[in-house]
Amino acid sequence: MKKITIAVDGYSSCGKSTLAKALAKKLGYKYIDTGAMYRAVTLYLLRLGAEKILASASLIASTLRDIDLSFRMTPGKETSEIHLNGENVEKEIRSMPVAALVSRVSAVKEVRKRMVELQKEMGKGKGVILDGRDIGTVVFPDAELKLFMTADPEIRVRRRFNELKAKGINITVDEVRTNVSARDYEDTHREESPLLKAPDAVVLDNSFLSEEQQLEFAVRLLENQDPDR
């Protein structure tokens, strides 16, 4: 099968990364977690004092010049992990302080412009899977396969809660629900690259699907594509 570009967009806590990683492994594709990139920028800003920086467009632009993002393989892991200025921050970017601010940071024009530039560079060529919020609409609008993932909000809250608890993060279901709801609103209402379903994207509601069933769904879509692609 000819290699293509695959875009996976959708709401937070829908399992986009889980599916994208599994599909990349099965196909032998490169996987780029664009959400991790925005989280890494958010972490960097938090360390410097996010409120002050976010209040100034010029300060944001100057700060972005000091940020180097890369994905590197970690011994014992099957997929690459994000590094911020050479530091592996894969675990730290999943914290609640980062989750609470990432949608706001992602809405900043200067941030999105820089991240889209990096994503296009990282994903140029074929044989790549990217997941995020605007992959099929902005980053790679010509992607041969586009998935738009969604799930029942309460199911997404429970999944996120279980994920955080498994990592030893002390949090309540209500706190997770508030965070997920806020991120949904911010992601869909921001001026810069809001979360939208691309007209040619295939919707995958995984509310009651296992990880294996989701992977099978995506593989069937690929198999049913034009073989000349």
In this structure, what CATH number is given to the domain that contains residue 203?
3.40.50.300
Q: Flag whether pLDDT at 229 surpasses 80.
A: no
Q: Are 144 and 4 in contact (CB under 8 A)?
A: yes
Q: What is the largest CA-CA distance in the chain?
A: 52
Q: Where are the alpha helices (DSSP H) in 28-108?
A: 34-48, 50-54, 57-64, 96-106
Tokens of 123: 């994903």
pLDDT tens for 48-84 read: 988 888 888 889 889 999 999 999 987 877 778 999 9
pTM for this prediction:
0.86
Rounded CA-CA distance 161/166 in Å is 9
Q: Is residue 164 part of a domain?
A: yes
Could you read off the pLDDT of 149-197 as tens digits, one per residue? 999 999 999 999 998 888 888 899 999 999 999 989 999 998 888 999 9
Residue 228 lies in a domain: no
Domain region containing 198? 5-223
- Stretch 11-35: mean pLDDT: 93
Domain count, the chain: 1
